[in-house]
Amino acid sequence: MMSDTNHKIIYYGHGIPYYQDIEIKGKLIVIEGPDSSGRSTQISLLNSHLEANGHAVVNTGLKRSELISEGILWAKEHHLLRRRTMSLFYAADFADQLENKIIPALRAGYIVLADRYIFTLMARDAVRRINQRWSHNLYGFAMKPSLIFYLDVEPRELLRRVFEKNMTLDYYESGEDLGLSDDLLESFLLYQQKIKQQFIRMQKSYGIIPIDGNRSIENINLDLQKKIDQCLSTNNYTCVK
């Protein structure tokens, strides 16, 4: 069921010049959270819930640009990403998807479910001591979502889930490039705690809604469904407070 209400795109900064007067009918819903926080599972369940209620849905996420994603994966595999290189790589990936996937879908009235957005990227920048004003300005072309959720999972619980799933830790998601600790497990816990702190700092500024991700999949999903259904029942584009 597509919305009949049109809205102008709202940007965080300078926006995209040739999209300043574009009108959209859909809504952009963002699910943030660290690896193994349950984002993919929740998005899959939300996708089914929304489609069952008559909404057309498009999914997006980090490292999915056809132009950039392979370069990011290769650079990460070979540990070649320095802090600003990483930031610019991901910004290019996001920009390509925003222009060619997210905005066109919203113009057509789709609900776009984003598996992470610019907030993870800004949190990573901050932890890597990149100037926050620089990072905010870099993503000034990003449009504001209708809703932003953050799946908040304790670092030790994340560690358990990661080993249960992969039996290995990601180099960058463990903060190994930052030299936090010679012990890999400790480095992971320290890095994830720093990312968590950045999301706490961003909550008020960006209207991010924290969701307790330590609960069961069913309880988390019911919580998300309730808030999303409330947002979709309004004529407003943004439900961010």
pLDDT, one tens digit per residue, over 48-58 is 999 999 999 99
According to the model, what pLDDT value does residue 4 have?
60
Rg (CA), the chain: 18
Query: Would you kindly state where each structural domain of the chain is located, as residue ranges?
Result: 7-116+131-153+208-232
According to the model, what pLDDT value does residue 80 have?
74
What is the edge-to-edge ordering of all strands in the sheet holding 27-32? 57-61, 111-115, 27-32, 147-152, 209-212
Q: What is the mean pLDDT of the chain?
A: 92
Residue 55 and residue 113 in contact, taking contact as beta carbons nearer than 8 Å? no
Please state whether the predicted TM-score (pTM) of the whole model is above 0.85.
Answer: yes
According to the model, what pLDDT value does residue 2 have?
45
Among residues 68, 152, 59, the alpha carbon closest in space to that of 114 is found at: 59
According to the model, what pLDDT value does residue 1 have?
45
CATH topology of domain 7-116+131-153+208-232: Rossmann fold (3.40.50)
Query: Which portions of the chain are predicted below pLDDT 50?
Result: 1-2
